[in-house]
Amino acid sequence: MRFGLSARIAFTAAVLLCCGKSGYAGASENLAPGYRPAPDTEEGGLWAQTDHEEAEVKASPTLVTDEALNTYVRKIVCELAGEYCASLRVYIVDEPSSNAMTAPNGMVIVWTGLLLRCQNEAELAFVLGHEITHYLKRHSLLNLQKEIRTKGSFGGLTDAAGIGRWLEAVAAGRIASYSRDQEREADAGGFDLVVDKGYDPRQAAFFMANTDDEEQANTNRTKISAYRSTHPDMKERLTDLTKRADAIEAQPHARIAGDEPYRAAIGPHRAAWLEEEFNRGDYAQSVAMIKQLLKGEPQSGELQYYLGEAYRRRNADGDLRNAMTAYQAAIAATDAPSAAHRGLGLVSLKANQKIVARDEFQKYLALAPMASDRNTVEYYLATMGGSP
């Protein structure tokens, strides 16, 4: 079977943990800076497999190569990792899901869907600190040790039986998923890392609350996300993070959020990421996510336009009016995308407001004379007796 990169990465998160026999002496200890296992050990074999997968990531066409964005994210990782900076390599992958991972060999993968959802540098730093803690605590190796103790050695995974036993363990989530205690430890470690660097301690809880709101909007309520199935209860996490933030705020402490640097870093990419977000097909979650972003940028014409798009594409009860309101807010903003006029034209046409629709379509073509959908918009105008 041939995987796309996003599927390969998810698969790799499990593959990285499989290397056959038992052993892994010292897996319960934190890594030392610059650590690399001897190549003739079982752990060395694990790292060799990870290195192979990292080469695949490097060669992927979905790898984001924008140097400014990569430099920005790498800077945050290195500031958090400190003396472990040289052991970590960051790759940004064009994938709309909200996720990040750190592999046992120090490969850090950040999905663009995560960068889209974070509202400032402090939120991203908390997520990256969480993943760095998984790496430092060697949680993946501990999971494999537990699986081996429970089921016995997997034997050589080059034979069909060994592969079958391992895939069964992966499918059941026994290797690829961190335990709730490990997630708690990663939350605590990530929190400590960001606070140590002067970030606002409340941003961790804000990110988790927004994640919860978006997940609650999931229209497929029978599907339990991996995020919820492998992590501690969200209320527990929010309570713990808020309590820790309360304690920190009672002390003299820098409160860096990093809103402006973050927006500057992701700004050139956000429109494309929002378009890709719609490809997931869960417009209810898209609406929830964009509304959260608008709390931090209420005057953003770009975000208002995409909120209108999410409503229009969802097409649920009341969404026609919601979309109109969002498009109108986008047009009133100083950074109004020309496509907001097209969007307002489409929903006005659907509402049988032909005069408004014709006017908006004409404004759109005037602002975007080389638009790829010009012929389609001209057709709409022709059916209403108008012209560009």
Q: Who wins on pLDDT, 41 or 101?
A: 101
CA distance readout (Å), 4 to 8, 14, 62, 94, 227:
6, 16, 9, 11, 21
Domain count, the chain: 2
In a domain, 80, yes or no: yes
In a domain, 255, yes or no: no
Angle at CA of residue 8, ends 47 and 96, nearest 5°: 120
In a domain, 275, yes or no: no
Tell me: do 75 and 119 sit in the same domain: yes
Question: How confident is residue 164, by pLDDT bands cut at 50, 70 and 90?
Answer: very low
Tell me: do 52 and 113 sit in the same domain: yes
In a domain, 56, yes or no: yes
In a domain, 104, yes or no: yes
In a domain, 48, yes or no: yes
**Contact indicator for 339, 364 with CB cutoff of 8 Å:** yes
In a domain, 119, yes or no: yes
How many CB atoms are located within 10 Å of the residue 27 CB?
A: 17
Token digits of residue 215: 């997940």
Question: How confident is residue 144, by pLDDT bands cut at 50, 70 and 90?
Answer: low
107-111 and 100-102 beta bridge pairing? antiparallel
Tell me: do 219 and 307 sit in the same domain: no
Average of per-residue pLDDT across 63-82:
97
Tell me: do 245 and 341 sit in the same domain: no
Residue type for 378, please? E
Q: What is the pTM of this model?
A: 0.82
* CA–CA gap between residue 174 and residue 132 (Å, rounded): 21
* CA–CA gap between residue 145 and residue 329 (Å, rounded): 55
Phi, psi of 91 (to 5 degrees): -130, 130
Token digits of residue 70: 């990569």
Tell me: do 206 and 342 sit in the same domain: no
- How confident is the model over 334-382, as pLDDT tens digits? 999 999 999 999 999 999 999 999 999 999 999 999 999 999 999 999 9
* CA–CA gap between residue 93 and residue 269 (Å, rounded): 13
Tell me: do 66 and 173 sit in the same domain: yes
Q: Is 16 helix (H, G, I), strand (E, B) or coil?
A: coil
Task: Find all residues with CB under 8 Å of 352, minimum gap 6, and list them.
Answer: none
Last residue of a domain, one of 205, 228, 249: 249
Identify the residue whose tokens are 């953003």.
Answer: 300
Tell me: do 315 and 233 sit in the same domain: no
CATH of the domain at 317: 1.25.40.10
Question: How confident is residue 162, by pLDDT bands cut at 50, 70 and 90?
Answer: very low
Concatenate the DSSP letters of all residues of 46-61 into one string: HHHHHHHHHHHHHH-T
Is the pLDDT score of 154 beyond 50?
no
**Contact indicator for 357, 349 with CB cutoff of 8 Å:** yes
* CA–CA gap between residue 138 and residue 17 (Å, rounded): 11
Angle at CA of residue 149, ends 145 and 150, nearest 5°: 115
Quote the pLDDT of residue 246.
66
In a domain, 49, yes or no: yes
Domain extent for 308: 281-383
Average of per-residue pLDDT across 31-41:
83
Tell me: do 214 and 291 sit in the same domain: no
Is the pLDDT score of 176 beyond 90?
no
Sheet of strand 89-93: strand arrangement: 89-93, 107-111, 100-102
Is the pLDDT score of 129 beyond 90?
yes
Concatenate the DSSP letters of all residues of 283-303 into one string: HHHHHHHHHHHHHH-TT-HHH
Quote the pLDDT of residue 159.
41
Is the pLDDT score of 333 beyond 90?
yes
**Which helix (H) or strand (E) is 213 found in, with range?**
helix 203-216
User: What is the 8-class DSSP label of residue 369?
Assistant: T
Last residue of a domain, one of 249, 265, 291: 249
Tell me: do 224 and 293 sit in the same domain: no
Tell me: do 208 and 325 sit in the same domain: no
